[in-house]
Amino acid sequence: MRAASHLLAGRDLTDAQLDELARRVEGWATAVDDAPVRDKRAYMVRRGGLAEFMVTGVPQPPPPEGSVLRFDELSCIGGPSSGMSMGFTYRRDGDETVAETVFGRAFEGPPERVHGGAVAAAIDESMSLILLLVGQPAYTVQLSIAFRAAAPVEQPVRFRSRLVRREGRKLFISCEGSSDEGVFAEAEGLFVLAPPLVAPPG
């Protein structure tokens, strides 16, 4: 589905080709429409990870240094189970997290540049990876982004995030987006830790 989206955005198709594709997609949508609606909260709890904190009140241990990070499998930004995903891979690098992808044509804004909104969404998700190191889920409260240059399409890009400081439930996180051509975005974010659904033990 992701590959098809980029092809549709990056190819000049005839009306006849688009009509044929629309018929095929409508047939597929009809075939799955009667399936049960997914309960994402229940899905996350079954998976464990950060959601485990919500049901136990116990912060989760950070993943090992250098490990590949598994975040939200259904995320429209980096979730491998989402047809809308930007196709990110995530890893831990010391006290920082690194998110890497190649933006396809579906995320193109101005010619050869990634849409600024797509970059902002990628930054938000990349900052959220720090929560895996903290061991608790949190909500985005504020983002401040400085766009320094163009984020290129169809070239490798990376987003490096780190926890700047923590004040009670407040997490202050920074993120830098770059490509082989240099830094294209710098950001600061404020996140607030989510309370557990149960009272913490003790």
Confidence of residue 2 (pLDDT cuts 50, 70, 90): low
Instruction: Return the bridge partners of 189, or none.
Output: 143, 173
Residue-averaged pLDDT of the chain: 87
**pLDDT digit string (tens) for 119-143?**
999 999 999 999 999 999 999 999 9
Cβ atoms of 151 and 179 closer than 8 Å: yes
pTM for the full predicted model: 0.82
Confidence of residue 84 (pLDDT cuts 50, 70, 90): confident
Question: Residues 169-184: what's their mean pLDDT?
Answer: 97
Sequence ranges of the domains in the chain: 36-193
Tell me how long the chain is.
202
**pLDDT digit string (tens) for 33-72?**
788 887 777 776 677 677 788 778 888 889 999 998 887 8
Per CATH, the number for 36-193 is 3.10.129.10
